[in-house]
Amino acid sequence: MVKNMSASRRGASSAVLILILVAGLIGGALISSYILMRRITTLENDISNLESEVSQISGNQTVYNQNVTIYQNATALSELYAHVKDSVVLISGTTSSGTVQGSGFIYNYTGSMVIVTNNHVVHGATGISVTFSDGDGFAASVNGTDPYADLAVLTVSGTSPSDFKPLQIVRSDTLKVGDPVVAIGAPFGLVGSLTSRLVSALGRTISEQEYTGGFAIANIIQTSTAINPGNSGGPLLNFNGNVVGITAAIVANSQGLGFAVPSNAIINEIFSLVTTGSYNGHPYVGVSGGDMDFNQAQSMHASVTYGWRIGQVTSGGPAAGAGVHIDDIIIGINGTRITNGDEMSSYLEEKAVAGQTVVLNISRGGQTLNLTLVLGTRPPPPA
């Protein structure tokens, strides 16, 4: 009996020892697991920090790549210049007030090489000459002019076809504000000068009282590209080296505010300028007026705060025949919203020609009227 009890006690003691050993193993495992989890958490934090640092490095790399892209664009500009510089010419002449200079570019019109420039560059000039980029100069004559678009086409004497490297003209109605453009010309007589910035606005109008008799030159491209006296008549190019405009004017004392005649004007008029010496397709409405705004609308109790307010209707003109009245407000043409005079002039210049019928959307006394009008032809420009 005593032996059996001793054996039982020994068995119980062994069981207790086993339980203690198992508990120790479990506790050790828990402690090890806890330590392992801490280490995993620490590693995860380290990985997260490393990913953040990699992200920052990637961001810096992106900026670096953008800088490289800009540099590549600068390289492309030098290549563009090398490709087109021989197509740009210096135009010189004499007027009653002295010597005049401007720029122009070579264009291949159905196999005939001509020089495209501004009307105001050659207006009233005699002894006109054209000097190419290599210094060779030749006599030139005016083939055709259009003061209402400030365009002129010249022909050059005494040259061979190999002397000409024409530029390609593309449509300007594909331009968008913010598009990069390049101007090449002879500012202050500095032949072959290149400047580049952006299209800063579209559909502007400018006026050259001396040449147009007060009629607006419409649908003008506004650009931040530096333009100076002598640039007039030179090409405004897109980054493919194609002509999208002809640099024409600047605002005195402005900071980079220049204007260019759109290339669409050349495309529309070149046939007439070359074959007849003029262009007579500019539409004529027979009204004068000014832009509407909130204050005017309040004072005249108008129902609209935009559009173009009629101040005068020319007797016997197209508008008079259509029933347009003083204080009518043109708010649309053919259903296209017109917010100011720039938009009205640009729409008519781009979308219509003399003799075409249009519908004027008029606000009168709180009502909207649709008046059918047959566009006339502008009177001849001042001599």
Identify the three-state secondary structure at position 193.
strand
- In this structure, what CATH number is given to the domain that contains residue 300? 2.30.42.10
Please count the CA atoms within 13 angstroms of the CA of 373 that sit on its side-chain side.
Answer: 33
User: How much is the pTM?
Assistant: 0.79
Element housing 298 (H / E): helix 294-299
Percentage, residues of the chain above pLDDT 90: 72
pLDDT score for 208? 79
pLDDT score for 60? 42
pLDDT tier at 35 (50, 70, 90 boundaries)? Answer: low
The pLDDT mean for the chain works out to: 85
Lowest mean pLDDT across 30-39, 242-251, 333-342:
30-39
For the residues 123-139, what does the mean pLDDT come to?
96
Decide if 133 is catalytic: no
- Please tell me the total count of domains within the chain: 3
> Are residues 253 and 316 both part of a single domain?
no
> Are residues 255 and 330 both part of a single domain?
no
Lowest mean pLDDT across 112-126, 188-202, 205-219, 223-237:
205-219
**CA pair distance 221, 258, nearest whole angstrom:** 8
A 10 A CB-CB count for 306 gives: 18
> Are residues 158 and 178 both part of a single domain?
no
Residue 37 lies in a domain: no
> Are residues 131 and 153 both part of a single domain?
yes
Residue 229 lies in a domain: yes
Domain boundary among 143, 163, 183: 163
pLDDT score for 253? 75
Closest CA to 85 of 121, 132, 17: 132
Token output for 335? 């259903």
**CA pair distance 243, 115, nearest whole angstrom:** 13
> Are residues 181 and 138 both part of a single domain?
no
- In this structure, what CATH number is given to the domain that contains residue 123? 2.40.10.10
Whether pLDDT at 176 is above 80: yes
Tell me which of 87, 92, 103, 120 is the catalytic residue: 120
The pLDDT tens digits for 207-262 are 877 899 889 899 999 999 999 999 999 999 999 999 999 999 988 777 778 999 99
pLDDT score for 210? 86
Decide if 120 is catalytic: yes
Domain that holds residue 134: 87-163
The CA angle 255-264-370, to the nearest 5 degrees, is 100
pLDDT tier at 147 (50, 70, 90 boundaries)? Answer: very high
Residue 79 lies in a domain: no
pLDDT score for 1? 43
Token output for 19? 């339980």
Residue 112 lies in a domain: yes
Token output for 125? 């000039």
Tell me which of 87, 92, 172, 232 is the catalytic residue: 232
> Are residues 121 and 200 both part of a single domain?
no
Domain boundary among 117, 144, 163: 163
> Are residues 290 and 358 both part of a single domain?
yes
Whether pLDDT at 148 is above 70: yes
> Are residues 289 and 371 both part of a single domain?
yes
User: Which amino acid is residue 70, in one-letter code?
Assistant: I
Decide if 288 is catalytic: no
Tell me which of 150, 172, 193, 363 is the catalytic residue: 150
Instruction: Between 44 and 105, name the one with better pLDDT.
Output: 105
First to last CA, the chain: 146
Residue 335 lies in a domain: yes
Residue 186 lies in a domain: yes
Residue 248 lies in a domain: yes
pLDDT score for 22? 45
> Are residues 151 and 178 both part of a single domain?
no
Domain boundary among 137, 163, 189: 163
> Are residues 178 and 156 both part of a single domain?
no
Residue 44 lies in a domain: no
Whether pLDDT at 3 is above 50: no
Helices in 90-173 by DSSP H: which ranges? 119-122
